[in-house]
Structure 1
Amino acid sequence: MSDATMDEVPISPGLVGGAAGVVTFGVLASVTALLFDRIAVGVLVGALSGVGIFYTVPYTIRRADEGYVRDAHQNLARSFHPGAAGYALSGAGVVVLALLFVFESPLLPVAAALALAMAEYVVLSRVLPRAGESSVEDGEDAWSSDEWDD
């Protein structure tokens, strides 16, 4: 047996996000399948929200960690914003579930949720700071609301 205990081994944010994503997938897929008797739509709802939570949880943990520094040189997908994708996708699954109560056909709720998720991602990727970056610019050229009073 090893002498290492669970307290000594650090748990990565990706592992926490993966566990949260699997739980979210299971819960939302089963609830959707039970309510509407459509397994494929349940899997889609669970997958959208599960993948969204998989991206959101590590992003949130890394944003709270002041010591986390993003290494932009090793990141091959620099244009992808995991926080924006996570928030957009997790909401899209819930939108599909909510719209299924209104519409009988699952085609319109899925299309509306995916369109909404794409619009959310575009806006959030411009607004949300990336993990490891400061949310406030520290440079001299950073704008300030004090300049508006002049």
Structure 2
Amino acid sequence: MADESGEISDQLLTILGVGSGVMQLAVFTWVGVMLFDNAVYGVAVGVFSGVGAFLFVPWLLSYSAAQEAASPEPAGERIARSTGPGVFGLGLELGAITMLALGFVQEPPALLLGVASALVVGVGVYLLGSFVLEA
């Protein structure tokens, strides 16, 4: 769990990431299938969201724990996890939401357009977030 310094162990963070990723995979897949009656599109939305949660949730929890710890160093320098995967995970989650939104615009939803837009959003958030958090 957490040690004396208040840091959360990497094993617990990985377990939380896997759990949140599996839950988001299931929920977003179900939402995509129920809304659009298209299993492939729903699974694509679920995969983007699940992988994004797996990468983002552990990074967010470790960053929050580092911010709450009493230390003169900036929180970004104290966390063991790299900023890149966490920010990319946030981008993938936002990309999954973009895919859902695009599914409403086109009838039937275009898988290629949805996946391309999700990747563009994911990479865009990654580039912007990496620049902002590293500065």
Name the TM-score, length of structure 1 as normaliser.
0.68
Aligned residues: 115
**Residues 46 and 33 (structure 1 numbering): CA distance in 2 closer, same or farther, change over 3 Å?**
same
Deviations 1:29-84 (A, max 9, x none): 0110111111111111001011111111100111122366428xxxxxx7x71221
Q: Any gaps of 5 or more consecutive residues in structure 2?
A: 2-8, 70-77
Distance of 1:114 and 1:82 partners within structure 2: 14
Distance of 2:40 and 2:123 partners within structure 1: 22
Q: Which residue of 1 aligns with 2:103?
A: 100
Question: If each structure's helix is expressed as a fraction of its own residues, which one has the higher value?
Answer: 2
Distance of 1:28 and 1:110 partners within structure 2: 14
Distance of 1:107 and 1:33 partners within structure 2: 16
Deviations 1:93-116 (A, max 9, x none): 110011100012332222222212
Q: Which residue of 2 aligns with 1:90?
A: 93
Q: Which residue of 2 aligns with 1:13?
A: 13
Matched, 1:70 2:80: yes
Q: Which residue of 2 aligns with 1:57?
A: 57
Range moving further from structure 2, 20-29 or 103-112? 103-112
Distance of 1:65 and 1:85 partners within structure 2: 20
Report the 3-state secondary structure (helix = DSSP H, G, I; strand = E; otherwise coil) of the residue aligned with 1:101: helix
Deviations 1:15-40 (A, max 9, x none): 01110110001000011011111111
Q: Match of 2:93, as an amino acid?
A: S
Distance of 1:14 and 1:116 partners within structure 2: 25
Q: Any gaps of 5 or more consecutive residues in structure 1?
A: 1-5, 72-77, 130-134, 136-150
Range moving further from structure 2, 92-101 or 111-120? 111-120
Distance of 2:79 and 2:127 partners within structure 1: 24
Distance of 2:79 and 2:36 partners within structure 1: 45
Task: Give the % identical residues.
Answer: 35
Runs of 4+ deviating beyond 6 Å:
none
